Amino acid sequence: MNKSSKIAFIGSHSVRKTNAVHSFAGAVGRSGRSVEVGREVIRFNPLGLNEGATPEAQLWVLMAQIQQELELRNRADVLVTDRAVIDNFAYFLRATGGVDPFDVKPLVRKWCSTYNLFVRLLPDTPLRSDGVRSTNRRFRDEIEGILDAIVPLYIGPDRLATIPASEITETFDWAGLLERLVGPSEPEQSPAAQPVTLIPTLFD
């Protein structure tokens, strides 16, 4: 590839995004391309999370997401991120009651154009406690409703794939999605597998 590609796995919480991110990153590495993973920044938020998150807390998440992507953008052939600005924006809008007190919509719209592909995981799996994220079904449903409204406004269908969360298992075949992201491999190629790297960022 002539330049790095960026793919984001998006959705509400407890939809197997992190599992999908690492599984897809492994597929990228096995294809002979270098790959880095951007972690979910909400877990490092010092201002609070889940239902009680304030607008300022969600603003921190949006800015941290962009900062992490800036740090990692050109260090590998492919950057795979656990969330993107669009789903973090959904949590922001939920915290603000749908208004935009910090005028971040133009930034969100512009930053959405920096992703080559989004994969939205749909919530057909039960909520499970991980010690961090909420297990409140109503909360997740509210986020999904906001995503339903904003995703078509910020992401074109040519850059969006949707997968039911229940399909993300150890046997999921990422070949089609990988080809959609970076194009087909040449038949004669026998690429050497590349490791998945996690370069330290602000959040380590």
What's 59-80 look like in SS3? HHHHHHHHHHHHHHCCCCCEEE
pLDDT confidence of residue 140? 96
pLDDT in tens, 173-199: 999 999 999 998 766 555 666 766 655
pLDDT confidence of residue 188? 53
pLDDT in tens, 81-137: 999 999 999 999 999 999 999 999 999 999 999 999 999 999 999 998 887 889 999
pLDDT confidence of residue 133? 85
Q: Which amino acid is at 162?
A: T
User: How large is the average pLDDT for residues 157-168?
Assistant: 98
Q: Residue 155 pLDDT > 60, yes or no?
A: yes
In whole angstroms, what is the distance from residue 2 CA to residue 86 CA?
26
DSSP designation for 150 = H
The strand ranges marked E within the chain are 5-10, 35-38, 78-82, 117-122, 160-164, 196-197
Share in percent of the chain as helix, strand, coil (round to 5): 45, 15, 40
Considering the entire predicted model, what is its pTM?
0.90
Question: pLDDT band at 75, cuts 50/70/90?
Answer: very high
Domains of the chain as residue ranges with CATH? 5-182 (3.40.50.300)
